[in-house]
Structure formats: structure tokens, C-alpha cells
């Protein structure tokens, strides 16, 4: 395991503070709030485990407040709070801050993709050796990963976050800017009951 030492590769992890009733609300409609929270804790644990396998500077960005006592050990993860009017501005601000601090390549992921692996994250960093932008498409029309080697605010502006058009609209913006890009493999975010892998259904506390 490598701690959050100085590195040209910055991995940013966007998470929601895991509080009952505030995470995985679409899953909660099928499984209940307690089960939805339990599933989200498992997703966070998986995200932590794969992030630790990537040699990079790691930053966890929390939705509401910085939690210094959660599963993200501060010996290996720097911690900060998201800020901005919507998801696009929050991502842009986090990426911009990373470049201001000296990052050479930045990859940002969420904490909803159970199929994500350390190898895919590393592929994102590797792609930035020759491309301006790298994106990991999600099956729902969004993306689970985005990376770049310089700030490009326009990529995050005027997007309908949460819609099935986010990926397409983002690619159109990238092409309009004349930037090169690479797409990683398409994966599934865990948002609804249909997305839930069988292994995450095991041991739900409120069945």
C-alpha cells in the first residue's frame, strides 16, 4: 500500500457521506433505507480496496463534510469536501485544485461502480499519456470515470446530470473543443435493484 505521497497521478474519489436515507435512494425503494445504506457501505469498501492498489496520490471528496474516522485511512487518503453548485462544478473544482497542487494527470471516479478495478483505473492514467481526456462509460448513459491532464471547465458545463445523455453530451463537448479522448470499457453503476450484483445482496440486515 502506498500512502498519499507526492505523485503526478492524482486519483479523486467522489463519495456521499453514508447516512440513512440519503444514499442510494432508488435502491431504497426496492430494498429499504437500511439495506440501501448497507449496500453503499459495501460499495465504499470496494472502492477503497481498489484505490489502494493504484500507485497515485489519493483524495476522497465528501458530499457534506469530511469524515476523518471512516474506512478511508488518512495514512493513505487525503480528504476534502466537494464544493460547487452542481455535480459538474464540484468535479471541475476538484480537478482544478489538483492541477493547482501540481498534478500531471487526474482521474476522478465515483463510489457506485462495483465492477471497477485497479487495472481499469491504471488504464485511465495510462491513456492520458497520449490523450487529452479519458472516460469510462456507464451503461446508464453517464460515466464512472473521467480523467484529463489539464483543466477543461467546458466539459462540465451545461450538462443534465443524472440523465442518460451525460456521456453523449460530454463527448460532443470534447469534440467541439478539438480534444483527443479514449473510452475505457463500459461498466454498470449500482443505482437500481436491476444493477445490484448477487454478492451485494448477501447479508442484507433488513430482509
If residue 136 lies in a helix (H) or strand (E), which one and from where to where? Answer: strand 133-137
Q: What's the pLDDT score for residue 124?
A: 98
| Helices H / strands E in the chain, number of each | 6, 7
d(CA 115, CA 81): 25
The reply to whether 122 falls in a domain is yes
Compute how many other C-beta atoms are within 10 angstroms of the C-beta atom of residue 22.
Answer: 16
- Find the distance separating the first CA and the last CA of the chain, reported in whole Å: 36
Has residue 141 been placed in a domain?
yes
Residue 107: closest CA among 90, 88, 126, 89: 126
How confident is the prediction along the chain (207 residues), in pLDDT tens digits per residue?
344 444 699 999 999 999 988 888 888 888 889 988 998 999 999 999 999 999 999 999 999 999 999 999 999 999 999 999 999 999 999 999 999 999 999 999 999 999 999 999 999 999 999 999 999 999 999 999 999 999 999 999 999 998 889 999 999 999 999 999 999 999 998 888 788 777 777 667 765
Q: Return the CATH number at 139.
A: 3.90.550.10
Q: In this structure, is residue 113 part of a structural domain?
A: yes
Contact of 201 with 190, CB cutoff 8 Å: no
Q: In this structure, are residues 191 and 110 in contact, taking their beta carbons and an 8 Å threshold?
A: no
Is 1 a domain residue? no
Cα separation values, 157 from 73, 86, 111, Å: 33, 10, 22
In a domain, residue 90? The reply is: yes
Beta bridge partners of 181: 133
| Residue 100 belongs to a domain | yes
pLDDT of residue 194: 81
The answer to whether the Cα torsion of 126, 127, 132, 134 is positive or negative is negative
List the grid coordinates of 123. Answer: 488504464
The boundaries of the domain holding residue 28 are: 9-199
150 assigned to some structural domain: yes
pLDDT for 157 equals 95
Q: Provide the domain count of the chain.
A: 1
Task: Measure the CA–CA gap between 59 and 72, rounded to whole angstroms.
Answer: 10
158: left (phi over 0), alpha (psi -120 to 50) or beta: left
Amino acid at each position: 500500500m502506498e500512502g498519499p505521497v507526492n505523485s503526478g497521478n492524482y486519483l479523486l474519489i467522489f463519495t456521499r457521506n453514508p447516512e440513512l436515507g440519503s444514499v442510494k435512494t432508488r435502491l431504497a425503494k426496492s430494498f429499504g433505507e437500511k439495506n440501501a445504506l448497507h449496500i453503499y457501505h459495501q460499495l465504499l469498501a470496494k472502492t477503497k480496496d481498489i484505490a489502494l492498489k493504484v500507485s497515485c496520490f489519493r483524495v476522497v471528496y465528501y458530499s457534506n463534510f469530511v469524515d476523518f474516522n471512516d474506512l478511508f485511512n488518512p495514512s493513505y487518503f487525503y480528504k476534502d469536501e466537494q464544493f460547487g453548485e452542481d455535480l459538474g462544478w464540484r468535479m471541475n473544482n476538484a480537478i482544478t485544485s489538483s492541477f493547482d497542487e501540481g498534478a500531471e494527470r487526474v482521474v476522478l471516479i465515483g463510489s457506485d461502480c462495483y465492477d471497477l478495478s485497479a487495472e481499469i483505473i491504471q488504464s485511465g492514467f495510462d491513456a492520458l499519456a497520449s490523450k487529452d481526456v479519458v472516460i469510462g462509460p456507464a451503461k446508464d448513459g453517464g460515466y464512472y470515470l473521467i480523467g484529463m491532464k489539464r483543466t477543461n471547465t467546458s466539459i462540465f458545463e451545461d450538462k443534465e446530470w443524472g440523465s442518460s445523455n451525460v456521456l453523449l453530451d460530454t463527448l460532443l463537448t470534447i469534440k467541439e473543443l478539438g480534444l483527443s479522448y479514449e473510452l475505457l470499457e463500459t461498466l454498470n453503476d449500482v443505482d437500481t435493484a436491476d444493477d445490484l450484483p448477487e454478492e451485494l445482496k448477501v447479508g442484507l440486515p433488513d430482509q
